């Protein structure tokens, strides 16, 4: 891995673990094994490096979601694959955790990739749910946009609850509950 990439990856990890304020240039240099000169050769400063790291985390989150969404099969199965994808529930979401960081949220440049990621994710889920309705897999009473927002909220809230309980089972339970609600939105067959 080249120096620039090591700096970005180290910053991603530190932002996830410590937040923006706790991610000092010295900590980034120590974690990446890069010197101060290398850091400032590749980036104008900590905000520039943090932005690259946040974008990398956001890009990875979107790519992993798209991989599940693009799988063949019914919409509910693809949504379930995304929701049940292996995650470190106790560590939390590297992008979602940034929303709790006042320094990131106060800076429009740092906040932008976080906002964009959740908007794209919610929009993509809404599109899938609308596709499920069009295919007859989901009932027409389902509001795709509101349901997509709820599904994203279940994931992010699931991380919070799992961390509070120190149990990944709480996260899995939240996902199971969301999927049960989605299954209940399937049209009923006549005679049932």
* Cβ 62 vs Cβ 120: under 8 Å: yes
Helix (H) or strand (E) holding 106: helix 102-106
pTM attached to this predicted model: 0.89
Q: Residue 6: inside a domain, yes or no?
A: no
Q: Residue 85: inside a domain, yes or no?
A: yes
Q: Residue 64: inside a domain, yes or no?
A: yes
Q: Residue 20: inside a domain, yes or no?
A: no
In whole angstroms, what is the distance from residue 105 CA to residue 114 CA? Answer: 9
pLDDT value at 21 more than 70 = yes
> What per-residue confidence (pLDDT) applies to 4?
94
* Digit-coded pLDDT (tens) for 125-156: 999 999 999 999 999 999 999 999 999 999 99
Q: Residue 37: inside a domain, yes or no?
A: no
In the block, tokens 């240099």 appear at 29
> What per-residue confidence (pLDDT) applies to 189?
64
Q: What is the CATH number of the domain that holds 101?
A: 1.10.357.10
- Whole-number CA gyration radius for the chain: 19
* Cβ 58 vs Cβ 111: under 8 Å: no
In whole angstroms, what is the distance from residue 115 CA to residue 171 CA? Answer: 23
The token duo for 149 is 């927002």
Coil, helix or strand for 90?
Answer: coil
* Digit-coded pLDDT (tens) for 170-189: 999 999 999 999 999 888 76
Q: Residue 134: inside a domain, yes or no?
A: yes
pLDDT value at 1 more than 80 = no
Domain count, the chain: 1
Q: Which domain holds residue 76?
A: 58-184
In whole angstroms, what is the distance from residue 126 CA to residue 128 CA? Answer: 5
> What per-residue confidence (pLDDT) applies to 191?
44
In whole angstroms, what is the distance from residue 68 CA to residue 84 CA? Answer: 10
Q: Residue 42: inside a domain, yes or no?
A: no
Q: Residue 49: inside a domain, yes or no?
A: no
Eight-state DSSP code of residue 189 = P
Q: What is the mean pLDDT of the chain?
A: 93
The Cα angle at residue 62 between residues 40 and 187, in degrees rounded to 5: 165
In whole angstroms, what is the distance from residue 122 CA to residue 164 CA? Answer: 25
The token duo for 119 is 């908007």
To 10 degrees, what angle do helices 75-83 and 108-134 make?
150
């Amino acid at each position: 891995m080249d120096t620039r990439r090591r700096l970005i990856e180290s910053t991603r990890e530190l932002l996830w673990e410590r937040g923006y304020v706790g991610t000092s240039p010295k900590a980034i240099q120590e974690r990446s094994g890069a010197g101060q000169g290398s850091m400032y050769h590749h980036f104008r400063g900590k905000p520039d490096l943090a932005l690259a790291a946040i974008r990398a985390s956001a890009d990875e989150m979107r790519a992993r979601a798209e991989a599940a969404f693009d799988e063949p099969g019914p919409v509910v199965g693809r949504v379930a694959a995304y929701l049940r994808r292996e995650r470190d529930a106790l560590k939390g979401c590297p992008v979602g955790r940034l929303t709790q960081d006042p320094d990131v949220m106060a800076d429009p440049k740092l906040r932008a990739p976080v906002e964009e990621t959740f908007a794209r994710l919610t929009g993509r889920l809404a599109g899938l749910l609308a596709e499920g309705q069009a295919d007859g897999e989901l009932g027409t009473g389902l509001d795709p946009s509101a349901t997509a927002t709820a599904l994203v909220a279940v994931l992010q809230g699931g991380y919070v609850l799992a961390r509070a309980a120190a149990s990944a089972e709480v996260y899995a339970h939240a996902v199971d509950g969301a999927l049960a609600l989605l299954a209940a939105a399937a049209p009923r067959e006549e005679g049932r």
